Amino acid sequence: MTNQINKSFQDQFLDELLLEAGFTTDDNLDLLKEELKPLLQERITMSIYNQLDQEQKDTVTEMLDHNQLDELNEYLEKIIPDYQEKMMEVYADFEEEYLENMES
């Protein structure tokens, strides 16, 4: 369930980001979102991995390999102080960078 919520949040975030960047619902937002998702997911992954020691990285990798996404989210919330706030910072930084790049 948690992973579904995170996925919904991610989709909603990207929808709003694209609209804020000047795209309209007439544009193919789904295609644009599919192009942005891997970039956002990579940013999230790097942010998480930068906060973990090797043992924790191994645990996270194993959970990902076994598709234990709900358990992974719970684990990360337990081991990373202020996990939700840090994830919101990643989203905010991604948004700021994307919008700046759209202006240039």
Overall domain count for the chain: 1
**pLDDT of the residue at 85:** 94
Question: What pLDDT score was predicted for residue 7?
Answer: 61
Model confidence pLDDT, tens digit, residues 12-38: 999 999 999 999 877 788 899 999 999
Ranges of residues in the chain with a pLDDT under 70 are: 1-7
Residue 43: which domain range?
2-103
pLDDT score recorded for residue 81: 93
The two tokens of residue 83 are: 């996990």
What is the reported pLDDT for 26? Answer: 78
Please name the residues in contact with 85: beta carbons below 8 A apart, sequence gap of 6 or more.
Answer: none
- In angstroms, the CA 32 to CA 58 distance is 32
